Structure 1
């Protein structure tokens, strides 16, 4: 127990020191030498060298071999861009998804790709007492469920192949597709029709419509209508499909202005 407590304290201090190093760079001082970093952060030179070497290796800092100075790296630009895109898409999508929620009275969610998973970043509750929904922060494999598959389908084929090479597909429910060729055929169909409809692939008792939001040729998010199977009426199919596609095109139009 004491060992675990020590490790937790050590990890927290390590993260804190890393943040202090990154925050040492400013608009006025975008480039700093190791000595200057030492003075600004108060971190001992021996430890500082290890931190800086790791940050350079991971792309968070760049070292100029000629001047021996460091500056913030491209990995931070990438992360900043992700935050900017996600913030923009939430601001743009929320009123559109609220209208979709009002029109359908069903749960509406938005998800993004997080590593090799789908992560829910927004959920608007159904008006009905009986509902099916995603919870903000929930994750699932990219091969399972409508909101995940609609993201996976619009990745470049080499990224899809790499993902499928890395992941071991397992049943989340008995309806989850775990055969690679069958999944690839489904992804091709999703790209063709621009949406996907699933029944109990990830959540037993729920069916979903989902479509991807595309920006700069990539899927930046997916939106979904999630309905309890007990309430779903096949006669609603065309109407729900058109509603979610209309929301998709609305969001994309504003996002890509």
Structure 2
């Protein structure tokens, strides 16, 4: 039986007296696409932040390939093989697409020294080009990031995450703000990436989630209330009760 690549046990998080996440236990197998859904305030962002090392759990543990990462700093998550993108675009707008990705690659090699002459980092430049090619931005490598279309900027963020060659890629609403055509292009990219690594996804577009995911987790009031295939989730009575009356389905 395949061992989980990432697992949490009894994970909870409090912010003062507010319980954002409570007693979540689950594991993620390698090579699968898992979507995390739930109404606003369900605990999705908190859970994602714990899985990527942005915040520590107040209780419980997180393990990556059997190694306990509880209390480990975020930069160590990246070095170990866990990378993420964010809901809000986080790029350097005045740098080129290539420079954005190369800076990320260089940070993993020589942190706080981003102004070293690029000629000394031929390997990093090659890695940046490979990451841009993987997301379909090779032809835009020297274009200023601020001039890229919104969908291309989101793809650039994924390239920045990919340059560290992660085994687990966490994507926080990668299609946020996209129209139908850009969403279609992003789905095609995610399908391509899923053939090579484990992907965890927070998204609001249910049709996309159902078509892309191998598995879906449903959070509600900080608790995990359902875990199964897209078909399981669509027919789960508790999930249907939670979302009853919501126009857009799963938010």
The answer to whether TM tops 0.5 is: no
State the TM-score bracket (shorter-chain normalisation): under 0.3
Higher CA-based Rg = 1
- TM-score of the aligned structures, taking structure 2 as reference length: 0.26
